[in-house]
Amino acid sequence: MLGAVILLMTTSFMVSQTEPWRTDQLMEPKDLADVLNNPAAAKPIIISVGPAGLIKDAVDIGPAHEKDGFDKLKEFLSQQKRESKIVIYCGCCPFEHCPNVRPAFKLLNDMKFTNQKLLNLTHNLKADWINNGYPMTVKQ
């Protein structure tokens, strides 16, 4: 039994190490909403890398797993300072199923950005952001 527990713990650690982000690079939705709702706060660059909807002030890149979206993201990032505070999100589904957050975050790492975060949407944008009344871009 002890062997099975050790194997499970080791496997869980190895799986968590395969993500391109560290746990300290996850940003809680409330923390980003607080920044967006504070007029005096310095705003990060917020990038939507999926189809779920636009958080207030986010740049709409489109699905990062598709060539057009990935290329658009790469072009956009090439115009940013490497130390810029950047928050990416998709929100289409939980991370384990999301095709967009991994290629986007890996690109940030590969391009040597130093202050990137992934919005921690554990379910999806609707459940973790919209249902909490956090700010969205209003369509005209």
At 83-121, the pLDDT tens digits run 999 999 999 999 899 999 999 999 999 999 999 999 999
Nearest to 73 by CA among 25, 102, 107: 107
Architecture of the domain delimited by 24-132 = 3-Layer(aba) Sandwich (3.40)
Domain ranges of the chain: 24-132
Burial of 75 (0-12, 13-18, 19+ CB in 10 A): exposed
Provide mean pLDDT across the span 21-37: 98
pTM assigned to the model:
0.86
